[in-house]
């Protein structure tokens, strides 16, 4: 039976490939696929974004090799960055909870 972390890792892989296989080159996300993934899988994050060009900027930042595609390794850097931001929010929330007690 897989651990919670192993299940989370498998989910990342499955979600990435679900969108990466929709059109064009398999194994990478083009701009449209990345937008669809973010709209469907990271909708709460996008709601917080005030910039309508946020996905385009994210695509540019993620595409470290400049090929116009986001491969799995580049995609994981997005997930890591968002996870770090979420963990920082979690720490602040926990600090506020303990201060109120």
Contact partners, residue 57, CB within 8 Å, separation at least 6: 51
Residue 86 sits at φ, ψ, to 5 deg, of -65, -40
pLDDT-based confidence at residue 101 (cuts at 50, 70, 90) = low
- Structural domain harbouring 31: 4-100
Q: What is the CATH number of the domain that holds 30?
A: 1.10.238.10
Number of structural domains the chain divides into: 1
DSSP H/E element including 24: none
pLDDT-based confidence at residue 94 (cuts at 50, 70, 90) = confident
Q: How much is the average pLDDT of 66-78?
A: 92
How many other CB atoms sit within 10 Å of the CB of residue 55?
Answer: 20
pTM (global) more than 0.85: no
Q: Diameter of the chain by CA atoms?
A: 54
| Reduced 3-state DSSP string for 26-55 | CCEECHHHHHHHHHHHCHHHHHHCCCCCHH
Question: How confident is the model over 82-91, as pLDDT tens digits?
Answer: 888 878 877 8
pLDDT at 32 over 80: yes
Question: How confident is the model over 3-31, as pLDDT tens digits?
Answer: 999 999 999 999 999 999 887 778 999 99
């Amino acid at each position: 039976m897989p651990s919670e972390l192993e299940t989370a890792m498998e989910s990342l892989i499955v979600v990435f490939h679900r969108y990466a296989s929709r059109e064009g080159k398999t194994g990478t996300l083009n701009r449209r696929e990345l937008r669809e993934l973010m709209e469907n899988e990271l909708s709460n994050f996008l709601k917080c974004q005030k910039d309508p060009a946020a996905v385009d900027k994210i695509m540019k930042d993620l595409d470290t090799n400049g090929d116009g595609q986001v491969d799995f390794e580049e995609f994981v850097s997005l997930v890591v960055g968002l996870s770090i931001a979420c963990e920082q929010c979690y720490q602040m929330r926990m600090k506020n909870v303990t201060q109120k007690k």
